[in-house]
Structures are given as C-alpha cells and as structure tokens.
Amino acid sequence: MTTLLPPKFGPYGGQFVPETLMPALIELEEAFVASRTDVEFQKEFNKLMASFVGRPTPLTYAKRLSEKLGGAQIYLKREDLAHTGAHKINNALGQALLVKRMGKGRIVAETGAGQHGVASATAAALLGLDCVVYMGSVDIARQEPNVFRMKLLGAEVRPVNSGTKTLKDAINEAIRDWVTNVRDTHYLLGSALGPHPYPTIVREFQSVIGTEAREQILMEVGRLPDTVVACVGGGSNAIGVFSGFVDDEHVELIGVEAGGSGIESGKHAARFGDPSKGRVGVIHGTRTYVLQDEDGQIAETHSVSAGLDYAAVGPEHALLRDTERAFYTSATDAEALDAFQMLCHTEGIIPALESSHAVAEVIKRAPTMRKDEIILVNLSGRGDKDLNTVIKEIGELEN
C-alpha cells in the first residue's frame, strides 16, 4: 500500500497500529490531502483562525527581560493569546473541520495539561460534535481548572487509571476508544505524534505559528531571528514555529525538553537528553526516540508540566535532531519555575509551565549572545491553568 503523503521522516514515523485502524488512517489522509486544495475548506479554516481564534497572535518584544538578561533581544510569539489560551486550538479546529468533511460526528482526544482537551472540547462545541477527552487521573488532579473548562464546554472527561495515569495512558485509552468506535469517531490527536498522517497534519495546522512569526519579525526588525526556541513534549508547538524557519539555514532551532528533577535523577521526560533510556523504538503508532527500559517497556516520565510529561517525541523532531537541523536541550522543573516567575515579573505575562521551559532556555542563552542578536521564543500557552501547581511547587522550593 502506498500513502498519498510521505509516511516517514527519514527512518522515523510510520503507521504501527492495529489493522482495524489502518482504513481510518487512509481515510484521514485522503480527507486531509483533498482539503489542502479545497478553496472552501481553506477559506473556512482561515476565517475561523481569524474570527474565532483571534489570529494572527501578536509578536511581543520582551524589552525588560532582554535588558535584565543583558544579551540578545527577545521576542515572544504569543500563542498564549490564542483563544483557549494555547496553540492547541489551531490543530483542534483544523482536525475538527476534517471530521465534518469525513462525515463523522464524534471525536475522542487525549490530554496531558488539559490544553488540547480544552481546545478539542471548544472545537467540538463550535462545530456541533460529540467529544470525549481521556485524561490521566494524575493530570486531572494537577490541572483541575482545565477539567472544569472541558466539562463546561460540553465534553465528557474520562479519567484514566491505567499505567502511569498520565498522558501516555490517556493516549492508550483514546486509541482503544477509537479502535472500538472507528466508523463514526475521529481521534483528534493533539501533538505531532502518532501514526502517519497525524504528525504531518498537526504540523500543517500548526505551521501558522511559524508563518506568522516569520512575517512579524521581518516586519518588526527587518530580519530573521538568530535563534528560535520552543518547548518540546510531543512537539506540536515546536514543529509549528520551526516550520516557518526550517528552510532558513542560518536560523538556529532549539527544542527544550522537560528535564524534570534533572537528567541524572532519572525523573524527567528528556528523550534526546538521556541516551541511557531514550532510544529509538515504537510507541503509539510511530517510530521515534522513546524513553524505555532495556526490555523495551516504556519508562515512567516526570515533569512539573503535564504537557511535556511524555515518553516519546514527534518523529519529525527525531529527524531534525539526527540531521542537526535543530538542537535539543532540556530545562529542569526548578529552571522552568524560575523562568515562569521571571517572565511574570519582567513582562507581565504568566506563561504555561510548558512554555516556561522554553523561557528557561532563553534565560541561559540570551546572556551569551550579542545585543544585536535576536531570539524568538514560542510562548505556546498561558499559565492560568498552572497556578495550583506553581503555588505548591514554589512553596516547596522556598521551604
């Protein structure tokens, strides 16, 4: 069988799913490919991006943060200002429109931090789809406001108590639901992960971030940034912003994984950062770098941010890393919490804990750069959802 679009990114990606799902993946790919050249579809998508999501999101010059760090000039791509408070809505709306196109009436989604769940519930409400969101019970406890938001939006939130009770297990349950109800249900996968065509679809719907950011920085300063930084869980916000600059070879691309309690502690979600556990494998339908033990069992992960707390990384990032087109580093929980507070104090912006990992890298990197250099950081979401976690964590840090 051949696919319409390339199913792999170098050796990564592919379609490692039960046979029951293969026809659904083929149908999804067909619908997606047809939508790319469908003027009406694109018009509707662009209209919703503007009138519902509020795009384009601004590019904000972080003047006080730049001065404080004393190096590169820092610009923030404000996905936190997109409707629902994160970049996730771009992909959720795009896929929900595909669902309508395929004539299905029900979506299932997984969520870690709750941002993708909220985005999916929002898209479902807007377009009149039934929506079930699977969420690990550990994540439900730490992202309570988002759970309430999803319910308000009419979604059913199903707690997942299997395995590690986090994002990985929520994906398992969403896939099980999908396998069972595949004829009328679409799996609205929220990151640049999973079997083909998901990584490509998610990148395309998130590429609006990079396209806008590129235009905006050119408009604002008349040149491209030296460095683009984004956090990487599955990697959808990163692949979205990177896509705008990947062909500009002199623009350095930096992805920031969750360093948790530190790589050496073993409690982290740094797939690239820990060669002892992060090896190429197959999980959730795709071949990529996966944190696993010697026997190929998927490892438990840890991050203060639920959205980065996942054992695998999107397959396109695996290729970008191998080809050294992008570089990947990590920020610990403590560094992310410091960055969170610094951005609050200097810029009046409360970032998501996920995005705070990207800011943490900026804090390390900007002082080593010249004042005429530019860092563009994708602020993928806002941090209101994280206040409970931050109150708890900062309290613990100060004691």
Residues known to be catalytic:
88, 110, 380
d(CA 92, CA 48): 12
Q: Which residues pair with 157 in a beta bridge?
A: 133
Q: Does 162 bind other proteins (CB under 8 A)?
A: yes
Please, is 221 exposed, middle or buried when counting C-beta atoms within 10 Å of its C-beta (0-12, 13-18, 19+)?
middle
CB 14 within 8 A of CB 7: yes
Among 17, 31, 98, 188, binds other proteins (CB under 8 A): 17
> What backbone torsions phi and psi does residue 142 show, to the nearest 5 degrees?
-95, -5
By CB under 8 A, is residue 163 in contact with other proteins?
Answer: yes
CB of 164 to other proteins, least distance (A): 9
Return all residues near 59 (Cβ < 8 A) that are at least 6 apart.
75, 76, 77, 78, 212, 213, 216, 217, 220, 376
Residue 18 as a binder of other proteins (CB under 8 A): the answer is yes
Question: What does the per-residue mask of binding to other proteins show for 21-60, with x meaning CB under 8 A?
Answer: xxxx------------------------------------
- Which of the stretches 56-64, 273-281, 320-328, 356-364 binds other proteins when contact is defined by CB under 8 A? 273-281
**Cα gap 169→183, rounded to integer Å:** 23
Shortest distance, position 283 Cβ to other proteins, whole Å: 6
End-to-end CA distance of the chain: 59
Instruction: Give Cβ neighbours of residue 265 (< 8 Å, ≥ 6 apart).
Output: none
The alpha carbon of 49 is separated from its chain's Cα centroid by a whole number of angstroms, namely 18
C-alpha 97, offset from chain centre: 19
- For residues 122 and 164, which CB has a smaller minimum distance to other proteins in the complex? 164
**Judged by CB under 8 A, which stretch of 242-250, 282-290, 342-350, 355-363 contacts other proteins?**
282-290
Choice between 16 and 61, CB closer to other proteins: 16
Please report the DSSP string for 254-278 in residue order: EEEEEEET-GGGT-SB-TTT-TTTE
**What residues from 295 to 334 belong to the interface with other proteins (CB under 8 A)?**
295-298
C-beta of 27: minimal distance to other proteins in Å? 10
The answer to the question of residue 290 lying near other proteins (CB under 8 A) is: yes
Q: Does 294 bind other proteins (CB under 8 A)?
A: yes
Half-sphere exposure of 110 (CA within 13 A, CB side): 29
x/- site string to other proteins, residues 178 to 207, per CB under 8 A? -xxxxx------------------------
Rounded to whole angstroms, how far apart are CA atoms 5 and 11?
Answer: 15
Q: Would you say 12 or 205 has its CB closer to other proteins?
A: 12
Q: How far is the CB of 120 from other proteins (least distance, A)?
A: 19
**Of 46-54, 145-153, 270-278, 279-287: span binding other proteins (CB under 8 A):** 279-287
Nearer to other proteins, 180 or 276 (CB): 180
Identity of the residue, 173 or 338, whose beta carbon is nearer to other proteins in the bound complex: 173
Looking at residues 99 to 158 of the shown chain, list those that interact with other proteins (rule: CB under 8 A): none
Is residue 175 close enough to count as binding other proteins by CB under 8 A? yes
Rule CB under 8 A: is residue 7 a binding residue for other proteins?
Answer: yes
363 interacts with other proteins by CB under 8 A: no
Applying CB under 8 A, the site for other proteins has a residue count of 40
Give phi and psi for 306, each to the nearest 5: -60, -30
Contact (Cβ atoms closer than 8 angstroms) between residue 342 and residue 363: yes
**What single-letter DSSP state applies at residue 57?**
P
* Cα(98)–Cα(102) distance, integer angstroms: 6
284 binds other proteins (CB under 8 A): yes
Q: Is the dihedral of CA 29, 30, 35, 37 positive or negative?
A: positive
Give residues in contact with other proteins (CB under 8 A).
1, 3, 7, 14-24, 162-163, 168-169, 172, 175-176, 179-183, 279-285, 290, 292, 294-298
